[in-house]
Amino acid sequence: MAAADQIRQMVNFILQEAHEKANEIRVKTEHDFNLEKQTLVHEAKLAIQEDFAKKEKDREIQERIARSTEIGETRVKKMKIRDDLLNKLISDAGARCAVVARGQNYPQLLQKLIVQGLIKIEENEVVIFCRSEDVAVVEKILPAAVKEYVDILKRESGVTLSPVVTLNTDRSKDLQENTYGGVLLTALNGKIVCDNTMASRLNLVYEELLPSIRAILFPDEQ
């Protein structure tokens, strides 16, 4: 009996150790599983957060791009409307110049433009260009314009000149209608040019007054 009891005790001891060992393995397995699960859950949360943050950033970028595009398109439309208005303004002014060119004082104006051009160009041999419809008027007032020019120089400098001022005879080179009238003076075979057309004078005035015009038409942009 003693031997049987010892054997039974040994068996019980072995079973107890096996049970404890199995319990340790189960506890460790559960711990490792829970730890791995927590790690996976944490990594999944981080991945979701990163994905959300990326999508949110992409959304913000797209919104900024869309907003910038909209602002750009609005600015372009605004600039086009402004430019159209300014072009309409200068076009209307050009139409008024054309009316002046049909007025009774136009010959006197042409004479003044020729004298101004001769003073500015400062050459002894000058060829004058004008519109086809102005040829007869220029031919008529040219001698008086040259005389006025000579008198001015003599009065201001004491020098008496004998300039050779002629009107262009090639009708294919006459000025276009969009010059609105006036004259163009050339010297040295076209190397020196003085544009004293109505369109040129209008553009000079327009450029000088453009800041004031913009301030009046577009006060919000100042």
Query: Which of 126, 127, 109, 114 shows the shortest CA–CA distance to 174?
Result: 127
Per-residue pLDDT tens for 94-120? 777 777 778 889 999 999 999 999 999
CATH dotted code for 105-210: 3.30.2320.30
The domain segmentation of the chain, as residue ranges, is 1-102, 105-210
**What integer pLDDT is reported at residue 32 of this predicted model?**
75
Residue reference for tokens 């009046």: 216
pLDDT confidence bin for 169, thresholds 50/70/90:
very high
Q: Is the pLDDT of residue 203 over 80?
A: yes
pLDDT value at 222 more than 60: no
Give the pLDDT of residue 52: 76
Nearest to 195 by CA among 172, 176, 169, 170: 176
Residue 9 has pLDDT above 90, yes or no: no
pLDDT at position 119 is 93
